[in-house]
Amino acid sequence: MAAVGWLSKDVAVIAVPIVTILLGILIGWLGQRSGFCSIGGFRDFFMFRHTRLLYGYLALIGGAFIGYFVFWMITPLAFEHFFWYLTSGLTPVPGAPAGLLVAGYIILATIGGIAVGLIGVLLGGCPLRQLVMTSEGNVKALVFVVGMCIGAVMFTAWLSGWVVALMKGLGIA
């Protein structure tokens, strides 16, 4: 059963690039004004007890919950599995490599999360901050974004398949 949103499928497939690029321009503009950074929020809080960026990230989680809740009340069909835990249990929202057991997803989220936090702190920012710094003329951030592009292809072409095979071999998939 496919989810149904406010636009019909014929219109939505055309609207996807237009709506997302406009959303991106707004986020990029405000991201440049505010210096918004998810990992920077935790870093500044733990190092200096600065809460400015952290509150931004917490507001994002809160805003998402309120947004999903309100729009789900209006159009439940577009938010089929909200609130995810109550409709689908511990199995995560699709996105990570498909077909693993819950234990496998928890392992991937733990290892992935630690690596993401670590790299983000050592190289001065989360991926949104790197995109914004690229647009401000920072060549190091540009190189980071190029690395992300290469990483995306490597992940899809090889890494994802290798790790899923390894986890199946270990019996956690």
Partner 1 sequence: MAETKANENKSVLDGLARNPITLGILIGVLAAFVQGLLISAGGPEAYGFCVACHTRDVVNDAVNSIAGTKLAIAPISQNAILPVLTVIGVLIGAFISAKVYKEFKTKTGSSISYIWYLLGGLFFMAFALFMGGCPYRIALRVGYGDVVAFIGLLAIIAGVLIGIKIASAMAEREG
Residues 52-111 binding partner 1 (CB under 8 A) are 52-53, 55-68, 70-71, 74-75, 78-86, 90-97, 102, 105-106, 108-111
96, 108 Cβ separation under 8 angstroms: yes
Residue 128 is a binding residue for partner 1 (CB under 8 A):
yes
Residue type, 73: M
Residues 4, 77 contacting (CB under 8 angstroms): yes
Count of residues that bind partner 1 according to CB under 8 A: 127
Alpha carbon separation from 169 to 60, 104, 154, 160 (Å, rounded): 38, 12, 21, 14
Among positions 12, 73, 165, 166, the unique one binding partner 1 when judged by CB under 8 A: 12
CA distance 74 to 62: 19
Residues 134-173 close enough to bind partner 1 by CB under 8 A: 134-141, 143-157, 159-160, 163
Q: How far apart are CA 11 and CA 8, in angstroms?
A: 5
Nearer to partner 1, 74 or 171 (CB): 74
- State the minimum distance, in angstroms, from the CB of residue 171 to partner 1: 18
Q: Which of 14, 165, 166, 170 binds partner 1 (CB under 8 A)?
A: 14
